[in-house]
Structure 1
Amino acid sequence: MTASVTSRRPGPRRPPERNVLENETLGTRLHYLRRKIALQQVFAELFEKRWMEPAIPLTLLVGVVVFFSVATPGFATPENLLSSAAELAELSLVCIGMAVVMISGGIDLSVGSMFGLCNILMILLITLGGVPVPLALLLTLFAGAILGGVNGGIVAYLKARPFLTTLVTLIVFRGVLNLLDLNFSAQTATVFVLDPMWEWLGTGKVAGIPFSFVTLVVVLLIGHVLLSRSRIGWHITAVGASRRAARHAGIKVERVLLLCYVISGALCALAGIFYAARLSSASARVGEGLELNVLTAVILGGISLSGGKGTVWRAFIGAATISLLGKGLLLMNVGGEVLQTALAAVLIVAVGLDIKWGKNRGKAIQKTYVNPTLLRYRPAPDVRRGSGSAYEVNDRLLGAEAIGVGEVEGPEDVVLDSQGRLYCGTRQGWILRFSGRDFEHKEIFARIGGHPLGLGFDAEENLVVCVGGMGLYAVSPDGTPRKLSDETNRDWTRLRDDSRLRLADDLDITPDGKIYFSEATTRFGMADWILDGIEGRPNGRLLCYDPATGTTRTVIRDLVFPNGICSCHDGESLLIAQTWLCRILRYYHSGPNKGRLEIFMDNFPGYLDNINRSSDGGYWIALNGMRSPAYDLAMRMPSFRRRMMKRIPRDEWLYPSMNHGCVVKVSEAGDVLDTYWDPGGEAHATITSMREHDGYLYIGGLENNRVGRIKLSGSGAAQVDNRRPQSSARPVSVN
């Protein structure tokens, strides 16, 4: 069974996703193309993004803008939008402060009083105190931080309830504001300040945009970095999610709470400064009732009252909705009572929808995440006894010697070192080493975590390991593990960030020391990799780690579950097993054919796993399961597989057959030379790897509880170098 069909496109381009059948009609090809389009997958990956969490508030904001743009002619004019931007900036700054406090698990009802108090303080410093504008600005910001610190100190260190504390300080701060207004109302009613900076704060513009709004954008960016990219931001979220857990993690809870209230007070002061400069006046009515609008805005944006959830962008979305809604109703000559009623109605509807979306978002993503596509297979080779097929079933593995029965769980790959010691990974995240005459001595060579999959030794006897869910690791001869790589270059054309390694699978090392390894799927992890088979899409890739530079790059994208990787005997090419397509690709990484991609073998009777070199110039191939007519037919019916996932329990789904063990030996030309079967999977149910060493073949399996060993007839003392092949001096024959 030789198949050396050359890829039509040179270089490591995206390989074909299916086997093109003879006499395929145009209708069939159009049907395949329709199934290839993954709109459902785009939906799932889009709404999986964290920035899509406020989908309902954002939709509401867009709806408000569209409605008033149509219903009110003057709403969408540049003059109105610029005026709204200045007002929005002041409201948004206060909302961001409230959001930070709420994310930490608190609440600040005194924001309106702090806003008004800082507003009048700024004007009094300039008019009565004769303080220069820059210094007055700094003093007002400091005063706002002090006011916030009062709230934070009482809440954090006196253990008072945030609601009652800030309700009391609301009254106290408002009382101070009333006293100042009562004594200095004549000086603060209307002020004239001949200072360029004062004018810039009130009416200055950057590229036609109010300076206050530009400042808001800067605050939003800083707040985003602070909350999502800094240690203090993670601490704020952790404290809001669970103070007890945060305290046990070593976080200074009191300090974090104090900082949040200080930030809230400083942002209220900044908003009050812009308000004072814009209107050049102050009164006791400034900020009255503002706390209700702010609280409405942040809840509308999706900031959780229970803490531990929210972003500054959500606060901005809520503030923009409230601000533009009020502006639109004002342009429609609607009274204040109607405005408050409208705000209440919008809040109830929006919060209800947002809660509903928050509860069902995960379910919606889960139901649309797996998006089956169309795969067509040629008729599978006959494997029945007496069929005369090259894959005919036999019993050659039934008498295999068992190593470590019951002492290993899931030895997906096996490898032997130069001293003949046997290594394998386990489901517990260990790498075991068996030694002795009959491998009777077992020891834990390394505790690496994850699930060790592909194994291979480099020239320095370091054991290189693909760890599912963790990436590429190396274990030194003394058993010390270290990370080599857990990321690669990102494909910016995709919604999903594929820079992190999710399922590094198998590896081999080329003569130049580079480590080529497969990532079977970028969309599923170790726990649900089988879903990739139900989907059948090209989610995998071939990667290369260069020890000289310590970098990883993606060599080939869009491979359908690339599993086994084997460096060929010529030292210039790799074999890549594609499990769900039941075929092997050959990729030339160096030499005169560098960049060439071709099909090495096709149409296997089972699903491929690891590939390794044999001592006589051929290759060993593991089949971890066998094809069945029912599943071959199901792969041609994406709609059937989608309905199956939605309507019946997962343990009743139709899966690929994984209850047979088989090892196939092929030649360099791709001819089947020999097979070794364990029909029914009595001892080796799912064979995922095999390794030839010193006349024996060692067998591993992802679901097995042992490592098998059989004596190879005719092998003699032939031995395979398990580290890497030597570069061949003979010319490469290319079909």
Structure 2
Amino acid sequence: MTGLTVVPVPGFGAEDVVVATHGPDEGCCFTGTEDGSVWRVSHDLRRIDRVAATGGRPLGIEHHPEGWLLVCDAHRGLLRVEPATGRVDVLTDSVDGARLLVTNNAAIAADGTIWFSDSSTVHPIEEWRQDFARDTRTGRLLRRDPDGRVAVVLEGLAFANGVALAADESFVTVAESGGRTVVRHWLAGERAGTTDLLVDDLPGYPDNTARGSDGLVWVTIASPALAAVRLLHRGPRWLRVAATSVPERLQPQPRRVVHVQAFDDDGALVRDVRRPATDFHMVTGVREHEGRVWLGSLLEAAIAVTDL
């Protein structure tokens, strides 16, 4: 990565980013912040507008073909957000009668099916460090059909996070932040219904993922792998609980880095883009669009942009 332009936004924790590919907002980038706001950043980076307030904590964000935004709100579930009016509607906030606890990231299929992750059934988003260190493996991949029905597709994931579809929608992927993998679930062909790994042993902890305009699956590396976390995950549960019971400043901390990778549909690494984290760090959102890469961060009051 050569140059990086940091764009401040009027809110902390711009966790994900998406670029509108059509309609009146074409070329603009959207992000959501900790205070519940959804922001639109113009393509030239000169104008930032607050287009909606979810009343929760927006994480993953997608641009629907019909022009509205699909927002994964950790507190409120899957939301439909209209940038033009600010209207917010809940698409779903539960599955099998139980509330979703950490709705995190999503991908939209051509037929309107929404694939999305629920990171934990134990810890809310404010306790992501505890869930991560304790390795609860209660994350899930879910599917919302066009008729509104919601089903659990995969369970037992180590903090389920970023979701992306194959270009031909033959499979869906979900990142395991705690496992440092990208899990692949086949939807079509001879392997339909089976699950394997698109990527194993990532160099760090993946967060959001997205398919770029280049056809690749882009994966954020929020932090390089930490030896202390590896030891915790191998240890007994009492040790993992004890490690997250001490003050947060004494717990293992993410290392500062700006790092994203891109893979083809066979899991081959195509791009490895990184730089020192001097003025931006902990990349949790990524969107490649026409050679420009937009980045979001859970721990920054800003997004960032670089050109490949």
- The reply to whether TM is greater than 0.5 is yes
Structure 1 position 443 matched with structure 2 position 40: no
Deviation (angstroms), 1:520 = 0.5
Other-structure match for 2:262: 665
Deviation (angstroms), 1:482 = 0.5
SS in 1 for 2:223: strand
Other-structure match for 1:562: 160
Q: Deviations over 1:549-569 (max 9, x none)?
A: 222121112211110000111
Q: Deviations over 1:141-200 (max 9, x none)?
A: xxxxxxxxxxxxxxxxxxxxxxxxxxxxxxxxxxxxxxxxxxxxxxxxxxxxxxxxxxxx
SS in 2 for 1:635: helix
Q: How many residues align?
A: 302
Deviation (angstroms), 1:666 = 1.8
Q: Which has the higher strand share?
A: 2
Other-structure match for 1:627: 225
Alpha-carbon separation, structure 1, partners of 2:90 and 2:265:
34
Structure 1 position 538 matched with structure 2 position 117: no
Distance 1:416 1:621, change over 3 A: same
Deviation (angstroms), 1:587 = 0.6
Alpha-carbon separation, structure 2, partners of 1:703 and 1:529:
13
Other-structure match for 1:685: 281
Equivalence map 1:415-426=2 (5 Å):
415-417=18-20, 418=22, 419-426=26-33
Q: Deviations over 1:207-252 (max 9, x none)?
A: xxxxxxxxxxxxxxxxxxxxxxxxxxxxxxxxxxxxxxxxxxxxxx
1:516–1:544 Cα contact (<8 Å) kept: yes
Percent identity reads 28
Other-structure match for 1:224: none
Deviation (angstroms), 1:464 = 0.5
Deviation (angstroms), 1:668 = 2.1
SS in 2 for 1:564: strand
Structure 1 position 578 matched with structure 2 position 176: yes
Paired letter, 1:407: P
Structure 1 counterpart of 2:214, from 609, 612, 616? 616
Other-structure match for 1:518: 117
Other-structure match for 1:127: none
Structure 1 position 401 matched with structure 2 position 5: yes
Deviation (angstroms), 1:514 = 0.3
Paired letter, 1:511: A
Deviation (angstroms), 1:408 = 3.5
Distance 1:645 1:415, change over 3 A: closer
Equivalence map 1:53-202=2 (5 Å):
none
Alpha-carbon separation, structure 2, partners of 1:683 and 1:580:
26
Other-structure match for 1:229: none
Other-structure match for 2:41: 434
Q: Deviations over 1:260-280 (max 9, x none)?
A: xxxxxxxxxxxxxxxxxxxxx
1:678–1:685 Cα contact (<8 Å) kept: no
Paired letter, 2:281: A
Alpha-carbon separation, structure 1, partners of 2:73 and 2:152:
18
Equivalence map 1:638-657=2 (5 Å):
638=236, 639-646=238-245, 648-655=246-253, 657=254
Distance 1:487 1:401, change over 3 A: same
Distance 1:415 1:616, change over 3 A: closer
SS in 1 for 2:95: coil
1:624–1:662 Cα contact (<8 Å) kept: yes
Equivalence map 1:171-320=2 (5 Å):
none
Structure 1 counterpart of 2:291, from 677, 695, 708? 695
Deviation (angstroms), 1:592 = 4.2
Alpha-carbon separation, structure 2, partners of 1:709 and 1:700:
9
Paired letter, 2:249: D
Alpha-carbon separation, structure 2, partners of 1:514 and 1:674:
29
Paired letter, 2:151: R
2:214–2:290 Cα contact (<8 Å) kept: no
Distance 1:509 1:645, change over 3 A: closer
Alpha-carbon separation, structure 1, partners of 2:137 and 2:231:
19
Deviation (angstroms), 1:591 = 4.4
Distance 1:631 1:556, change over 3 A: closer
SS in 2 for 1:446: strand
2:11–2:37 Cα contact (<8 Å) kept: no
1:678–1:684 Cα contact (<8 Å) kept: no
Q: Deviations over 1:38-58 (max 9, x none)?
A: xxxxxxxxxxxxxxxxxxxxx
CA RMSD of aligned residues (A): 1.7
Structure 1 position 600 matched with structure 2 position 198: yes
Deviation (angstroms), 1:645 = 4.1
Taking structure 2 as the reference length, the TM-score comes to 0.92
1:546–1:552 Cα contact (<8 Å) kept: yes
Which one has the largest radius of gyration? 1
Other-structure match for 2:306: 710
Alpha-carbon separation, structure 1, partners of 2:9 and 2:158:
33
Alpha-carbon separation, structure 2, partners of 1:667 and 1:550:
31
Deviation (angstroms), 1:614 = 2.9
2:102–2:124 Cα contact (<8 Å) kept: yes
Paired letter, 1:468: A
Alpha-carbon separation, structure 2, partners of 1:591 and 1:553:
21
Deviation (angstroms), 1:593 = 2.9
Paired letter, 1:414: V
| Unpaired segments ≥5 residues, structure 2 | none
1:578–1:608 Cα contact (<8 Å) kept: yes
2:9–2:48 Cα contact (<8 Å) kept: no
